[in-house]
Protein backbone atom coordinates (compact mmCIF):
# COMPACT_ATOMS: atom_id res chain seq x y z
CA UNK A 1 0.00 0.00 0.00
CA UNK A 2 2.79 2.42 0.89
CA UNK A 3 4.67 1.69 -2.34
CA UNK A 4 1.72 2.66 -4.52
CA UNK A 5 2.17 6.41 -5.06
CA UNK A 6 -0.15 8.47 -7.26
CA UNK A 7 1.53 11.12 -9.39
CA UNK A 8 0.15 14.63 -9.15
CA UNK A 9 -1.20 14.36 -12.69
CA UNK A 10 -2.70 10.89 -12.40
CA UNK A 11 -6.42 10.35 -12.24
CA UNK A 12 -7.74 9.55 -8.73
CA UNK A 13 -9.94 6.73 -10.03
CA UNK A 14 -6.96 4.83 -11.43
CA UNK A 15 -5.12 5.10 -8.10
CA UNK A 16 -8.24 4.02 -6.20
CA UNK A 17 -8.74 1.03 -8.52
CA UNK A 18 -5.11 -0.12 -8.17
CA UNK A 19 -5.15 0.26 -4.40
CA UNK A 20 -8.58 -1.43 -4.11
CA UNK A 21 -7.36 -4.38 -6.14
CA UNK A 22 -4.30 -4.74 -3.92
CA UNK A 23 -6.03 -4.35 -0.55
CA UNK A 24 -9.28 -6.23 -1.05
CA UNK A 25 -7.71 -9.15 -2.90
CA UNK A 26 -5.24 -9.45 0.02
CA UNK A 27 -8.13 -9.39 2.53
CA UNK A 28 -10.01 -11.97 0.42
CA UNK A 29 -6.92 -14.20 0.34
CA UNK A 30 -6.49 -13.83 4.11
CA UNK A 31 -10.14 -14.77 4.67
CA UNK A 32 -9.68 -17.83 2.48
CA UNK A 33 -6.45 -18.85 4.29
CA UNK A 34 -8.03 -18.31 7.69
CA UNK A 35 -10.93 -20.55 6.80
CA UNK A 36 -8.57 -23.25 5.50
CA UNK A 37 -6.36 -23.19 8.62
CA UNK A 38 -8.77 -22.39 11.45
CA UNK A 39 -12.17 -23.27 10.04
CA UNK A 40 -15.04 -21.27 11.56
CA UNK A 41 -13.44 -20.97 15.01
CA UNK A 42 -15.07 -17.83 16.48
CA UNK A 43 -11.96 -16.38 18.11
CA UNK A 44 -9.97 -16.51 14.86
CA UNK A 45 -12.90 -15.19 12.78
CA UNK A 46 -13.18 -12.23 15.17
CA UNK A 47 -9.42 -11.63 14.87
CA UNK A 48 -9.69 -11.70 11.07
CA UNK A 49 -12.58 -9.16 11.09
CA UNK A 50 -10.60 -6.79 13.34
CA UNK A 51 -7.53 -7.06 11.10
CA UNK A 52 -9.60 -6.60 7.89
CA UNK A 53 -11.35 -3.57 9.40
CA UNK A 54 -8.00 -2.01 10.29
CA UNK A 55 -6.68 -2.60 6.73
CA UNK A 56 -9.88 -1.10 5.27
CA UNK A 57 -9.49 2.00 7.43
CA UNK A 58 -5.84 2.40 6.35
CA UNK A 59 -6.97 1.99 2.72
CA UNK A 60 -9.75 4.60 3.14
CA UNK A 61 -7.32 7.15 4.62
CA UNK A 62 -4.93 6.73 1.68
CA UNK A 63 -7.79 7.14 -0.84
CA UNK A 64 -9.00 10.26 0.99
CA UNK A 65 -5.52 11.77 1.04
CA UNK A 66 -4.48 10.99 -2.54
CA UNK A 67 -7.77 10.90 -4.48
CA UNK A 68 -10.76 12.31 -2.60
CA UNK A 69 -9.40 15.38 -0.82
CA UNK A 70 -8.54 17.44 -3.91
CA UNK A 71 -11.70 16.58 -5.87
CA UNK A 72 -13.92 17.18 -2.82
CA UNK A 73 -12.40 20.59 -2.14
CA UNK A 74 -12.84 21.57 -5.81
CA UNK A 75 -16.44 20.41 -5.83
CA UNK A 76 -15.58 17.52 -8.15
CA UNK A 77 -18.56 15.46 -7.07
CA UNK A 78 -18.38 13.09 -10.02
CA UNK A 79 -14.66 12.38 -9.51
CA UNK A 80 -15.22 11.86 -5.79
CA UNK A 81 -18.27 9.69 -6.48
CA UNK A 82 -16.35 7.56 -8.94
CA UNK A 83 -13.55 6.88 -6.44
CA UNK A 84 -16.12 5.87 -3.84
CA UNK A 85 -17.95 3.63 -6.32
CA UNK A 86 -14.73 1.86 -7.34
CA UNK A 87 -13.77 1.25 -3.70
CA UNK A 88 -17.26 0.02 -2.77
CA UNK A 89 -17.36 -2.23 -5.82
CA UNK A 90 -14.20 -4.08 -4.71
CA UNK A 91 -15.16 -4.07 -1.03
CA UNK A 92 -18.66 -5.49 -1.63
CA UNK A 93 -17.13 -8.62 -3.22
CA UNK A 94 -15.95 -9.60 0.28
CA UNK A 95 -19.55 -9.95 1.45
CA UNK A 96 -19.65 -13.42 -0.14
CA UNK A 97 -16.86 -14.36 2.32
CA UNK A 98 -18.82 -13.02 5.27
CA UNK A 99 -16.94 -9.70 5.54
CA UNK A 100 -19.30 -6.69 5.40
CA UNK A 101 -16.78 -3.85 5.33
CA UNK A 102 -18.72 -1.36 3.14
CA UNK A 103 -20.15 0.47 6.21
CA UNK A 104 -16.56 1.11 7.39
CA UNK A 105 -15.70 2.71 4.05
CA UNK A 106 -18.92 4.69 3.85
CA UNK A 107 -18.42 6.20 7.29
CA UNK A 108 -14.88 7.33 6.40
CA UNK A 109 -15.72 8.57 2.88
CA UNK A 110 -18.93 10.39 3.81
CA UNK A 111 -17.33 13.69 5.01
CA UNK A 112 -15.38 14.02 1.72
CA UNK A 113 -18.46 13.37 -0.40
CA UNK A 114 -20.47 15.84 1.72
CA UNK A 115 -17.75 18.42 1.13
CA UNK A 116 -17.85 17.77 -2.63
CA UNK A 117 -21.66 17.98 -2.56
CA UNK A 118 -21.64 21.34 -0.75
CA UNK A 119 -18.91 22.79 -2.97
CA UNK A 120 -20.77 21.63 -6.08
CA UNK A 121 -24.06 23.21 -5.02
CA UNK A 122 -22.27 26.42 -4.05
CA UNK A 123 -20.69 26.60 -7.50
CA UNK A 124 -24.10 26.14 -9.19
CA UNK A 125 -25.56 28.89 -6.99
CA UNK A 126 -22.76 31.36 -7.69
CA UNK A 127 -22.61 30.63 -11.44
CA UNK A 128 -26.36 31.12 -11.81
CA UNK A 129 -26.34 34.39 -9.87
CA UNK A 130 -23.47 35.66 -12.06
CA UNK A 131 -25.36 34.69 -15.24
CA UNK A 132 -28.45 36.57 -14.03
CA UNK A 133 -26.45 39.79 -14.28
CA UNK A 134 -26.37 39.38 -18.06
CA UNK A 135 -29.74 37.64 -18.60
CA UNK A 136 -32.03 39.56 -20.97
CA UNK A 137 -35.05 37.68 -19.50
CA UNK A 138 -36.26 36.52 -22.90
CA UNK A 139 -37.52 32.94 -23.20
CA UNK A 140 -35.72 30.77 -25.75
CA UNK A 141 -35.30 27.07 -26.45
CA UNK A 142 -32.01 25.56 -25.20
CA UNK A 143 -29.01 26.22 -27.49
CA UNK A 144 -28.56 23.52 -30.11
CA UNK A 145 -25.92 20.91 -29.39
CA UNK A 146 -26.00 21.30 -25.61
CA UNK A 147 -25.94 18.15 -23.56
CA UNK A 148 -29.35 17.02 -22.41
CA UNK A 149 -30.93 18.73 -25.43
CA UNK A 150 -33.19 15.71 -25.93
CA UNK A 151 -36.88 16.31 -26.50
CA UNK A 152 -37.44 15.92 -22.75
CA UNK A 153 -35.63 19.21 -22.20
CA UNK A 154 -37.04 21.28 -25.05
CA UNK A 155 -38.52 23.94 -22.80
CA UNK A 156 -38.35 27.70 -23.19
CA UNK A 157 -36.39 29.38 -20.40
CA UNK A 158 -34.18 32.46 -20.18
CA UNK A 159 -30.41 32.03 -20.46
CA UNK A 160 -29.62 31.85 -16.71
CA UNK A 161 -32.41 29.29 -16.13
CA UNK A 162 -31.16 27.12 -19.04
CA UNK A 163 -27.70 27.14 -17.50
CA UNK A 164 -29.11 26.40 -14.04
CA UNK A 165 -31.07 23.47 -15.44
CA UNK A 166 -28.04 22.04 -17.31
CA UNK A 167 -25.86 22.28 -14.20
CA UNK A 168 -28.51 20.48 -12.13
CA UNK A 169 -28.91 17.72 -14.75
CA UNK A 170 -25.11 17.25 -14.78
CA UNK A 171 -25.09 17.21 -10.99
CA UNK A 172 -27.48 14.23 -11.00
CA UNK A 173 -25.52 12.22 -13.56
CA UNK A 174 -24.06 9.94 -10.91
CA UNK A 175 -25.96 9.81 -7.64
CA UNK A 176 -25.15 6.22 -6.62
CA UNK A 177 -22.75 7.15 -3.81
CA UNK A 178 -25.18 9.78 -2.50
CA UNK A 179 -27.79 7.04 -2.14
CA UNK A 180 -25.40 4.50 -0.70
CA UNK A 181 -24.30 7.00 1.95
CA UNK A 182 -27.87 7.90 2.82
CA UNK A 183 -27.21 11.41 1.50
CA UNK A 184 -30.42 11.61 -0.55
CA UNK A 185 -32.18 13.86 1.96
CA UNK A 186 -29.15 16.11 2.33
CA UNK A 187 -28.87 16.40 -1.45
CA UNK A 188 -32.54 17.40 -1.79
CA UNK A 189 -32.15 19.99 0.98
CA UNK A 190 -29.03 21.45 -0.68
CA UNK A 191 -30.79 21.59 -4.03
CA UNK A 192 -33.78 23.35 -2.47
CA UNK A 193 -31.47 26.00 -0.98
CA UNK A 194 -29.80 26.56 -4.36
CA UNK A 195 -33.18 26.90 -6.10
CA UNK A 196 -34.44 29.21 -3.37
CA UNK A 197 -31.36 31.37 -3.87
CA UNK A 198 -32.10 31.55 -7.62
CA UNK A 199 -35.70 32.59 -6.84
CA UNK A 200 -34.25 35.38 -4.67
CA UNK A 201 -32.24 36.52 -7.70
CA UNK A 202 -35.46 36.53 -9.79
CA UNK A 203 -37.26 38.55 -7.08
CA UNK A 204 -34.38 41.01 -7.16
CA UNK A 205 -34.86 41.37 -10.94
CA UNK A 206 -38.39 42.72 -10.40
CA UNK A 207 -38.32 46.54 -10.52
CA UNK A 208 -39.09 48.05 -7.14
CA UNK A 209 -38.76 44.76 -5.26
CA UNK A 210 -38.31 45.53 -1.59
CA UNK A 211 -34.69 45.80 -0.51
CA UNK A 212 -35.08 43.54 2.48
CA UNK A 213 -36.54 40.79 0.29
CA UNK A 214 -33.92 41.11 -2.39
CA UNK A 215 -30.95 41.55 -0.09
CA UNK A 216 -30.65 37.86 0.70
CA UNK A 217 -27.73 36.18 2.33
CA UNK A 218 -24.74 35.49 0.11
CA UNK A 219 -25.95 37.49 -2.88
CA UNK A 220 -26.65 40.90 -1.40
CA UNK A 221 -24.12 42.64 -3.59
CA UNK A 222 -24.75 40.72 -6.79
CA UNK A 223 -25.91 42.83 -9.71
CA UNK A 224 -29.01 41.51 -11.44
CA UNK A 225 -30.33 42.89 -14.71
CA UNK A 226 -33.82 44.35 -14.20
CA UNK A 227 -36.83 42.80 -15.92
CA UNK A 228 -38.34 46.08 -17.14
CA UNK A 229 -41.28 44.93 -19.27
CA UNK A 230 -44.28 42.82 -18.31
CA UNK A 231 -43.10 40.15 -20.77
CA UNK A 232 -39.70 39.98 -19.05
CA UNK A 233 -41.34 39.85 -15.62
CA UNK A 234 -43.66 37.01 -16.65
CA UNK A 235 -40.56 35.23 -18.05
CA UNK A 236 -39.14 35.24 -14.48
CA UNK A 237 -42.24 33.33 -13.38
CA UNK A 238 -41.93 30.97 -16.36
CA UNK A 239 -38.35 30.17 -15.27
CA UNK A 240 -39.21 29.47 -11.64
CA UNK A 241 -42.44 27.54 -12.26
CA UNK A 242 -41.01 25.26 -14.95
CA UNK A 243 -37.95 24.44 -12.84
CA UNK A 244 -40.05 23.74 -9.73
CA UNK A 245 -42.91 21.87 -11.40
CA UNK A 246 -41.05 19.73 -13.91
CA UNK A 247 -37.31 19.99 -14.40
CA UNK A 248 -35.96 19.71 -10.85
CA UNK A 249 -38.40 16.98 -9.71
CA UNK A 250 -37.57 14.99 -12.85
CA UNK A 251 -33.83 15.26 -12.13
CA UNK A 252 -34.33 14.42 -8.46
CA UNK A 253 -36.19 11.20 -9.32
CA UNK A 254 -32.72 9.74 -9.83
CA UNK A 255 -32.46 9.82 -6.04
CA UNK A 256 -35.46 7.51 -5.76
CA UNK A 257 -34.31 4.13 -7.13
CA UNK A 258 -32.20 2.30 -4.59
CA UNK A 259 -30.87 -0.25 -7.07
CA UNK A 260 -28.19 2.23 -8.13
CA UNK A 261 -26.54 1.72 -4.78
CA UNK A 262 -23.63 -0.65 -4.40
CA UNK A 263 -24.23 -0.81 -0.68
CA UNK A 264 -26.43 -3.82 0.00
CA UNK A 265 -28.13 -2.92 3.25
CA UNK A 266 -30.59 -5.40 4.69
CA UNK A 267 -33.75 -5.85 2.66
CA UNK A 268 -36.07 -4.52 5.38
CA UNK A 269 -34.28 -1.17 5.46
CA UNK A 270 -34.28 -0.96 1.67
CA UNK A 271 -38.05 -1.47 1.47
CA UNK A 272 -38.60 1.10 4.25
CA UNK A 273 -36.39 3.60 2.39
CA UNK A 274 -38.32 2.99 -0.79
CA UNK A 275 -41.63 3.74 0.95
CA UNK A 276 -40.28 6.81 2.68
CA UNK A 277 -38.39 8.45 -0.16
CA UNK A 278 -41.37 9.36 -2.33
CA UNK A 279 -43.22 11.27 0.43
CA UNK A 280 -39.92 13.04 1.10
CA UNK A 281 -39.76 14.08 -2.57
CA UNK A 282 -43.40 15.16 -2.57
CA UNK A 283 -42.75 17.36 0.46
CA UNK A 284 -39.63 18.70 -1.26
CA UNK A 285 -41.62 19.59 -4.39
CA UNK A 286 -44.17 21.41 -2.21
CA UNK A 287 -41.32 23.50 -0.81
CA UNK A 288 -40.09 24.32 -4.32
CA UNK A 289 -43.60 25.47 -5.27
CA UNK A 290 -43.72 27.54 -2.06
CA UNK A 291 -40.54 29.28 -3.16
CA UNK A 292 -42.15 30.08 -6.55
CA UNK A 293 -45.15 31.48 -4.65
CA UNK A 294 -42.86 34.06 -3.01
CA UNK A 295 -41.90 35.29 -6.48
CA UNK A 296 -45.54 35.23 -7.61
CA UNK A 297 -46.64 37.18 -4.51
CA UNK A 298 -43.95 39.83 -5.04
CA UNK A 299 -44.92 40.12 -8.72
CA UNK A 300 -48.64 40.49 -7.89
CA UNK A 301 -48.05 42.93 -5.04
CA UNK A 302 -45.92 45.21 -7.21
CA UNK A 303 -48.40 45.22 -10.08
CA UNK A 304 -51.26 45.84 -7.63
CA UNK A 305 -49.37 48.76 -6.05
CA UNK A 306 -48.61 50.17 -9.52
CA UNK A 307 -52.33 50.17 -10.23
CA UNK A 308 -53.43 51.57 -6.88
CA UNK A 309 -50.81 54.28 -6.29
CA UNK A 310 -49.39 57.15 -8.30
CA UNK A 311 -45.65 57.76 -8.38
CA UNK A 312 -46.19 60.42 -5.70
CA UNK A 313 -47.88 57.90 -3.41
CA UNK A 314 -51.44 59.14 -3.90
CA UNK A 315 -54.14 56.50 -4.25
CA UNK A 316 -56.23 55.88 -7.36
CA UNK A 317 -58.71 53.97 -5.20
CA UNK A 318 -60.29 56.21 -2.55
CA UNK A 319 -63.70 56.59 -0.92
CA UNK A 320 -63.89 60.11 -2.45
CA UNK A 321 -64.41 58.49 -5.87
CA UNK A 322 -67.80 57.28 -4.62
CA UNK A 323 -68.97 59.65 -1.88
CA UNK A 324 -68.35 62.77 -4.04
CA UNK A 325 -70.43 61.55 -7.00
CA UNK A 326 -73.78 62.59 -5.56
CA UNK A 327 -74.43 66.31 -5.88
CA UNK A 328 -71.45 66.86 -8.21
CA UNK A 329 -72.51 64.91 -11.29
CA UNK A 330 -75.51 65.84 -13.43
CA UNK A 331 -75.32 63.35 -16.26
CA UNK A 332 -73.53 60.13 -15.40
CA UNK A 333 -72.04 58.02 -18.16
CA UNK A 334 -72.07 54.65 -16.49
CA UNK A 335 -68.80 52.85 -16.87
CA UNK A 336 -66.46 51.06 -14.46
CA UNK A 337 -64.04 53.31 -12.54
CA UNK A 338 -60.67 53.98 -14.16
CA UNK A 339 -58.62 51.76 -11.81
CA UNK A 340 -60.83 48.72 -12.59
CA UNK A 341 -60.63 49.49 -16.31
CA UNK A 342 -56.84 49.50 -16.00
CA UNK A 343 -56.90 46.25 -14.01
CA UNK A 344 -58.95 44.61 -16.78
CA UNK A 345 -56.66 45.89 -19.54
CA UNK A 346 -53.56 44.76 -17.61
CA UNK A 347 -55.01 41.28 -17.01
CA UNK A 348 -55.94 40.98 -20.70
CA UNK A 349 -52.43 41.98 -21.73
CA UNK A 350 -50.85 39.53 -19.27
CA UNK A 351 -53.20 36.74 -20.35
CA UNK A 352 -52.06 37.24 -23.94
CA UNK A 353 -48.35 37.16 -22.93
CA UNK A 354 -48.87 34.16 -20.66
CA UNK A 355 -50.65 32.21 -23.41
CA UNK A 356 -47.39 32.26 -25.41
CA UNK A 357 -45.12 31.58 -22.42
CA UNK A 358 -47.03 28.85 -20.61
CA UNK A 359 -47.97 26.53 -23.47
CA UNK A 360 -49.18 23.29 -21.93
CA UNK A 361 -49.13 24.91 -18.48
CA UNK A 362 -52.15 27.18 -18.82
CA UNK A 363 -53.20 26.44 -15.23
CA UNK A 364 -50.18 28.33 -13.92
CA UNK A 365 -51.10 31.38 -16.04
CA UNK A 366 -54.72 31.24 -14.83
CA UNK A 367 -53.60 31.02 -11.18
CA UNK A 368 -51.28 33.99 -11.71
CA UNK A 369 -54.11 36.19 -13.05
CA UNK A 370 -56.34 34.95 -10.23
CA UNK A 371 -53.71 35.91 -7.65
CA UNK A 372 -53.20 39.38 -9.16
CA UNK A 373 -56.95 40.12 -9.17
CA UNK A 374 -57.24 38.87 -5.57
CA UNK A 375 -54.31 41.06 -4.50
CA UNK A 376 -56.04 44.24 -5.70
CA UNK A 377 -59.44 43.29 -4.23
CA UNK A 378 -57.93 42.17 -0.91
CA UNK A 379 -56.13 45.48 -0.67
CA UNK A 380 -59.48 47.28 -1.09
CA UNK A 381 -61.10 44.95 1.45
CA UNK A 382 -58.41 45.67 4.05
CA UNK A 383 -57.90 49.41 3.42
CA UNK A 384 -59.18 50.75 6.73
CA UNK A 385 -59.05 54.44 5.75
CA UNK A 386 -61.25 53.67 2.69
CA UNK A 387 -63.88 51.99 4.86
CA UNK A 388 -63.69 54.63 7.60
CA UNK A 389 -64.61 57.26 4.99
CA UNK A 390 -67.38 55.10 3.47
CA UNK A 391 -68.91 54.28 6.86
CA UNK A 392 -68.34 57.49 8.88
CA UNK A 393 -68.02 60.35 6.44
CA UNK A 394 -66.88 63.11 5.75
CA UNK A 395 -70.29 62.67 4.05
CA UNK A 396 -72.46 59.62 3.56
CA UNK A 397 -72.41 57.39 0.50
CA UNK A 398 -75.19 58.49 -1.88
CA UNK A 399 -77.24 56.49 -4.42
CA UNK A 400 -74.95 57.31 -7.37
CA UNK A 401 -71.85 56.41 -5.38
CA UNK A 402 -73.43 53.13 -4.26
CA UNK A 403 -74.41 52.32 -7.84
CA UNK A 404 -70.90 53.07 -9.14
CA UNK A 405 -69.32 50.97 -6.39
CA UNK A 406 -71.67 48.06 -7.07
CA UNK A 407 -70.95 48.37 -10.80
CA UNK A 408 -67.17 48.25 -10.16
CA UNK A 409 -67.47 45.10 -8.06
CA UNK A 410 -69.84 43.53 -10.60
CA UNK A 411 -67.31 44.35 -13.31
CA UNK A 412 -64.57 42.48 -11.41
CA UNK A 413 -66.84 39.42 -11.08
CA UNK A 414 -67.74 39.62 -14.80
CA UNK A 415 -64.22 39.85 -16.25
CA UNK A 416 -62.77 37.34 -13.76
CA UNK A 417 -65.54 34.91 -14.65
CA UNK A 418 -65.06 35.44 -18.38
CA UNK A 419 -61.27 34.98 -18.04
CA UNK A 420 -61.83 31.84 -15.91
CA UNK A 421 -59.88 33.18 -12.96
CA UNK A 422 -62.81 33.81 -10.62
CA UNK A 423 -61.67 31.94 -7.51
CA UNK A 424 -63.98 31.07 -4.64
CA UNK A 425 -61.89 33.36 -2.45
CA UNK A 426 -62.24 36.31 -4.87
CA UNK A 427 -66.00 35.72 -5.11
CA UNK A 428 -66.29 35.62 -1.31
CA UNK A 429 -64.23 38.80 -0.77
CA UNK A 430 -66.20 40.74 -3.42
CA UNK A 431 -69.47 39.65 -1.75
CA UNK A 432 -68.15 40.83 1.63
CA UNK A 433 -67.09 44.18 0.15
CA UNK A 434 -70.54 44.69 -1.43
CA UNK A 435 -72.21 43.79 1.88
CA UNK A 436 -70.08 46.35 3.77
CA UNK A 437 -70.97 49.11 1.28
CA UNK A 438 -74.68 48.17 1.43
CA UNK A 439 -74.59 48.22 5.24
CA UNK A 440 -72.93 51.66 5.21
CA UNK A 441 -75.64 52.94 2.87
CA UNK A 442 -78.43 51.35 4.91
CA UNK A 443 -77.09 53.16 7.98
CA UNK A 444 -78.37 56.43 6.41
CA UNK A 445 -81.91 55.05 6.81
CA UNK A 446 -82.52 54.26 3.13
CA UNK A 447 -82.96 50.75 1.70
CA UNK A 448 -79.91 50.25 -0.58
CA UNK A 449 -81.81 47.78 -2.79
CA UNK A 450 -84.31 50.49 -3.73
CA UNK A 451 -81.49 52.51 -5.34
CA UNK A 452 -80.01 49.80 -7.54
CA UNK A 453 -81.12 48.99 -11.09
CA UNK A 454 -81.84 45.47 -12.23
CA UNK A 455 -79.02 43.02 -12.55
CA UNK A 456 -79.41 42.83 -16.31
CA UNK A 457 -78.45 46.49 -16.52
CA UNK A 458 -75.22 45.93 -14.59
CA UNK A 459 -74.40 42.91 -16.72
CA UNK A 460 -74.96 44.91 -19.90
CA UNK A 461 -72.76 47.81 -18.79
CA UNK A 462 -70.01 45.36 -17.76
CA UNK A 463 -70.25 43.48 -21.06
CA UNK A 464 -70.07 46.70 -23.07
CA UNK A 465 -67.11 47.89 -20.98
CA UNK A 466 -65.21 44.66 -21.66
CA UNK A 467 -65.95 44.92 -25.38
CA UNK A 468 -64.86 48.55 -25.59
CA UNK A 469 -61.72 48.06 -23.47
CA UNK A 470 -60.63 44.99 -25.40
CA UNK A 471 -61.28 46.72 -28.73
CA UNK A 472 -64.20 44.53 -29.82
CA UNK A 473 -67.13 46.29 -31.55
CA UNK A 474 -70.45 46.18 -29.71
CA UNK A 475 -73.54 44.85 -31.43
CA UNK A 476 -76.17 47.62 -31.72
CA UNK A 477 -79.08 47.11 -29.38
CA UNK A 478 -81.90 49.45 -30.32
CA UNK A 479 -84.13 48.57 -27.39
CA UNK A 480 -81.88 49.80 -24.63
CA UNK A 481 -79.45 52.54 -23.81
CA UNK A 482 -76.99 50.91 -21.41
CA UNK A 483 -75.75 54.33 -20.29
CA UNK A 484 -78.92 55.19 -18.48
CA UNK A 485 -80.29 53.08 -15.64
CA UNK A 486 -83.83 51.82 -16.08
CA UNK A 487 -86.30 54.30 -14.67
CA UNK A 488 -88.38 51.70 -12.87
CA UNK A 489 -86.47 49.84 -10.23
CA UNK A 490 -88.51 46.85 -9.22
CA UNK A 491 -88.08 44.28 -6.48
CA UNK A 492 -86.44 42.14 -9.18
CA UNK A 493 -83.43 44.48 -9.13
CA UNK A 494 -82.30 43.15 -5.81
CA UNK A 495 -82.41 39.48 -6.80
CA UNK A 496 -78.84 39.48 -8.03
CA UNK A 497 -77.53 41.22 -4.93
CA UNK A 498 -79.22 38.66 -2.77
CA UNK A 499 -78.16 35.71 -4.91
CA UNK A 500 -74.62 37.10 -5.05
CA UNK A 501 -74.62 37.47 -1.29
CA UNK A 502 -75.84 33.89 -0.77
CA UNK A 503 -73.38 32.29 -3.23
Question: What percent of the chain stands above pLDDT 70?
Answer: 82
Count how many domains the chain has.
Answer: 3
3-state secondary structure 194-260: HHHHHHHHHHHCCCCCCHHHHCCCCCCCCCCCCCCCHHHHHHHHHHHHHHHHHHHHHHHHHHCCHHH
Please give the Cα distance from 346 to 214 (Å, whole number): 25
340 and 475, same domain (yes or no) = yes
Residue 461 and residue 386 in one domain: yes
Residue 289 belongs to domain with CATH number = 1.10.357
pLDDT at 151 over 50: no
Check whether residue 12 and residue 91 sit in a common domain: yes
Domain contains 107: no
pLDDT at res. 294: 95
Q: pLDDT-based confidence at 252, cuts 50/70/90?
A: confident
Distance CA 112, CA 72 (A): 6
Q: How many CB atoms lie within 10 A of CB 3?
A: 5
pLDDT given at position 311: 84
Q: What is the mean pLDDT of the chain?
A: 83
Judgement on whether residues 46 and 184 belong to the same structural domain of the protein: no
Please return the burial class of 308, using the count of CB atoms within 10 Å of its CB with bins 0-12, 13-18 and 19+. Answer: buried
Last residue of a domain, one of 100, 128, 151: 100
* Structural domain contains residue 209: yes
Q: Are residues 495 and 362 in the same domain?
A: yes
Domain stops at, among 46, 67, 100? 100
CA distance 31 to 55: 13
Q: What are phi and psi of 436, to 5 degrees?
A: -65, -40
**Cα–Cα distances in Å, from 74 out to 80, 156, 164, 434?**
10, 31, 19, 62
Q: Which of 100, 125, 151 is the last residue of a domain?
A: 100
Distance of alpha carbon 362 from the chain centroid: 16
Confidence check: pLDDT of 249 > 60: yes
Q: What does the pLDDT read at residue 120?
A: 87
pLDDT in tens, 24-61: 999 999 999 998 998 888 888 889 999 999 999 999 99
326 and 297 in a common domain = no
Same domain? 82 vs 140: no
CB contact at 8 A, 365 and 358: yes
**In terms of domains, do 71 and 192 share one?**
no
Residue 241 lies in a domain: yes
Predicted confidence (pLDDT) at residue 260 exceeds the cutoff of 60: no
Whole-structure pTM value: 0.80
Three-class SS of residue 309?
strand
Residue 303 confidence (pLDDT) above 90: yes
Domain ranges, residue 281? 116-301
Tell me: do 493 and 389 sit in the same domain. Answer: yes
What pLDDT, on the 0 to 100 scale, is given for residue 409? 96
Q: Which residues share a beta bridge with 140?
A: 157
Q: Are residues 31 and 148 in the same domain?
A: no
Q: Is residue 36 part of a domain?
A: yes
Q: Clarify whether residues 152 and 179 are in a common domain.
A: yes
> Residue 378 in contact with residue 310, Cβ under 8 Å?
no
What confidence category does residue 169 fall into, taking pLDDT thresholds of 50, 70 and 90? confident
Of the pLDDT bands very low, low, confident and very high (cuts 50, 70, 90), residue 473 is low
Amino acid sequence: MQSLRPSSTSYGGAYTAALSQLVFSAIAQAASDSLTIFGSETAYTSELVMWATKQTQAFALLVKRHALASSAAAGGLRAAAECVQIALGHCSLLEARGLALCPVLLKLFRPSVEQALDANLKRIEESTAALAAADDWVLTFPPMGTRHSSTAFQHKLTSSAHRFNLMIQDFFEDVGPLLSMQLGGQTLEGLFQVFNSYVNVLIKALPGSMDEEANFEGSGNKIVRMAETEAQQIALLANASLLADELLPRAAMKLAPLNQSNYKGDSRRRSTDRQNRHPEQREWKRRLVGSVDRLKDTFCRQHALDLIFTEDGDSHLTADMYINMDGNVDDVEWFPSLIFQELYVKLNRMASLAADMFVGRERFATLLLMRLTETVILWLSEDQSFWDDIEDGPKPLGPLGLQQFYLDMKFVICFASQGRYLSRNLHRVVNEIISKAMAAYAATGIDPYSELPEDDWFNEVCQEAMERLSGKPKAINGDRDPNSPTASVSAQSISSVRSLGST
